[in-house]
Amino acid sequence: MRRTVLAVALAACCFPVFSAEPATPAAAAASRNEASAALHRLFDSEWERNLRESPENAAYLGDHRYDGRWTDMSLEAIQRREAADREALAALRRIDRAALSPEDQLNYDTFLWLQERAVERQRFREYLQPIGHQGGVQTADGIAEILPFASAADYRNWIARLQALPQVLEQTAALMRAGIEAGSLPPKVLMQRVPGQIAAQVVEDPEASPFYRPFRKMPDAIPAAEQAALRAQARAAISGKVVPAYRGFGRFFEAEYLPRTRDSIAATDLPDGRAYYDFLAGWYTTTRLTADEIHQIGLEEVARIRAGMEKIREEVGFKGDLKAFFQHLRTDPEFFYKDPADLLEAYQALAKRIDPELVKVFRTIPRQPYGVRAIPDNIAPDTTTAYYQPGAVDGSRAGFYYVNLYKPEARPKWEMLALSLHEAVPGHHFQFARGAELPGLPLFRRSAYFVAYGEGWGLYAERLGYDMGLYDDPYDRMGQLAYDMWRAVRLVVDTGMHAKGWSRQQAIDFFMDNSPKTEQDVVNEIDRYIAWPGQALAYKIGQLKISALREEAARELGPDFDVRDFNDAVLETGSVPLETLEAHVRAWIAGRKKKYN
């Protein structure tokens, strides 16, 4: 049933295109060259525009030309960007797709998919909710994690950003006031977490500010006198501009905004909310699945995974039922570290354990390195167990696997292997690093991120631990099932809350009944799904598609199937919609069959 539900139409690139009359080879080549040149000019100009208009995103991608400023979040600037997106779509449609090479047709179709949906989502005016409980202008200091701070110029750029923060906060407040007028407001249960985040920016001593952190240790290459001058400028900017601006923003938030936030949690309660949730489900899963279909897939997966958990419970000789086993896994001290430093060291050691086994499941190993870091303290209480931050596209910055050390007594050892396989290697780090290193792709393809592909790959990567011989402990296998269950539960609770009228507590209870994850994690996860409707659907849907394609490849190729070649084939497209991945893998299977027969 899952295969039937998950079947999606082939991408537009796979439909035949017929010409009214044959062209001569020379004319066809000229047309192809002209169309390709126009296409890549558009890619280049849009790439530059997006970097210029989003300095933060440029920095994440490793381009630091715009490090001295923030994105302009005025309504006028937003409207200009939206108009430019519409024009980019129109310019793309003016290019003759039929005249392009197969490689450029794939580039065309991927860009078309992105631009069509960028324009479609304009109707939902998401900018009217510019902050969330997991981030926003109140945690703007976090970008310092990926900035270089190697020269005096880098520090001057940061000081320029400090001086410009009051304008950013004013623009953000203006958008929030417009959201109040339009009835586009986030749930109160999430926004109640934000005052503490704002308060963390209001300090008496400027050196205690999170924005001052880069100045605590400066490179020796900057002369001592210049270091002192830069530190003085930073303290003045924080005391004179940053802190007063956040203090005023905090008053606005608590007196004017928070009381007007909504008591409901469903995206369908927003203006045009049903259409919005349908759009988000399609955007994140890159499929045409309905909320009801996704909900049913989730229920089926929950039942399947529970059966596997029961087998682990029996294997370890636990005498109680599955609910009692979950409680044992959540509470027994043997499953937890007491000290955050010990937890970080264990994550780092686990990464080193995984690395040498990668050759068992891949032929191509990315060149870009990765590291393991702690999630910053100021956001750790309100964020997830871990996340991955990609390296720079040009290779100038490594990727980093960020782990949550807040309350180590809530971070069980049995989840660490599956989590590391997903977030670091061979999960997100391989997916991003391979994409960045693919030759000949336009830059937007090397950095594109389709959630169903990327998160589906991450969840699929958790299972590769079996192929690598890593799951030799039954509790680690329980952790893998727990993480698989986590993503199956998401299908049920996300659609439940946003399309079926479930309450927040109902979603928490369903999660707790079917997963050994701790209550701290469960509550944070449920709140994330409330804040980010539809995004959580992509993981399991993507994993099911990749797993089904692997089964298909093994069946079709028989003894000629090699998991290393299959995994390389999945990653060699870069991030694409699932229907495009499916077409690519099937073409790869056909090519292998031809080679071996």
Q: Residues 587, 592, 593, 597: what is their CA dihedral angle, to the nearest 10 degrees? A: 150
398 alpha carbon, distance to own chain's centre: 17
> How far, CA to CA in Å, does 13 sit from each of 107, 369, 582?
10, 34, 12
Is 0.85 topped by the overall pTM? yes
3-class state of residue 39 by DSSP: helix
| DSSP for residue 138 | G
Strand segments (E) across 164-296: none
3-class state of residue 377 by DSSP: coil
Q: Contact at 8 Å (CB) between 206 and 239?
A: yes
Tokens 């790959």 found at: 457
Q: Render each residue's pLDDT in the chain as its tens digit; 597 residues.
A: 322 222 222 222 222 222 233 345 555 566 569 999 999 999 999 999 999 999 999 999 999 999 999 999 999 999 999 999 999 999 999 999 999 999 999 999 999 999 999 999 999 999 999 999 999 999 999 999 999 999 999 999 999 999 999 999 999 999 999 999 999 999 999 999 999 999 999 999 999 999 999 999 999 999 999 999 999 999 999 999 999 999 999 999 999 999 999 999 999 999 999 999 999 999 999 999 999 999 999 999 999 999 999 999 999 999 999 999 999 999 999 999 999 999 999 999 999 999 999 999 999 999 999 999 999 988 888 788 899 999 988 888 999 999 999 999 989 999 999 999 999 999 999 999 999 998 888 999 988 899 999 999 999 999 999 999 999 999 999 999 999 999 999 999 999 999 999 999 999 999 999 999 888 889 999 999 999 999 999 999 999 999 999 999 999 999 999 999 999 999 999 999 999 999 999 999 999 998 877
How far is it between the farthest Cα atoms of the chain? 77
Adjacent-strand bridge partners of 132: 135
Non-local (6+) Cβ contacts of 383 within 8 A are 134, 375, 404, 524
3-class state of residue 77 by DSSP: helix
The whole-number pLDDT of residue 8 equals: 25
The whole-number pLDDT of residue 395 equals: 86
The whole-number pLDDT of residue 18 equals: 24
The whole-number pLDDT of residue 9 equals: 25
Q: Contact at 8 Å (CB) between 585 and 14?
A: no
The whole-number pLDDT of residue 241 equals: 98
81 alpha carbon, distance to own chain's centre: 22
The whole-number pLDDT of residue 400 equals: 96
Q: Rounded to whole angstroms, how far apart are CA atoms 409 and 335?
A: 9
The whole-number pLDDT of residue 16 equals: 26
Amino acid at 165: L
In the chain, where are the structural domains located?
Answer: 30-124, 137-263, 276-491+499-543
Q: Contact at 8 Å (CB) between 137 and 130?
A: yes
Determine what percent of the chain falls in helix, strand and coil, rounding each to the nearest 5.
Answer: 70, 5, 30
Helices (H), 183-216: 188-191, 194-199
Non-local (6+) Cβ contacts of 423 within 8 A are 386, 387, 388, 401, 429, 458
At how many degrees (to 10) do helices 504-514 and 474-499 cross? 160
The whole-number pLDDT of residue 378 equals: 82
Non-local (6+) Cβ contacts of 44 within 8 A are 442, 443
3-class state of residue 402 by DSSP: strand
Q: What distance, in Å, lies between the first and last C-alpha atoms of the chain?
A: 32
Residue 413 CB coordination number (10 Å): 18
Q: Rounded to whole angstroms, how far apart are CA atoms 393 and 5?
A: 36
The whole-number pLDDT of residue 15 equals: 24
The whole-number pLDDT of residue 101 equals: 95
Q: Rounded to whole angstroms, how far apart are CA atoms 539 and 152?
A: 42
Among candidate residues 135, 38, 109, the one with its CA nearest the CA of residue 448: 109
The whole-number pLDDT of residue 96 equals: 97
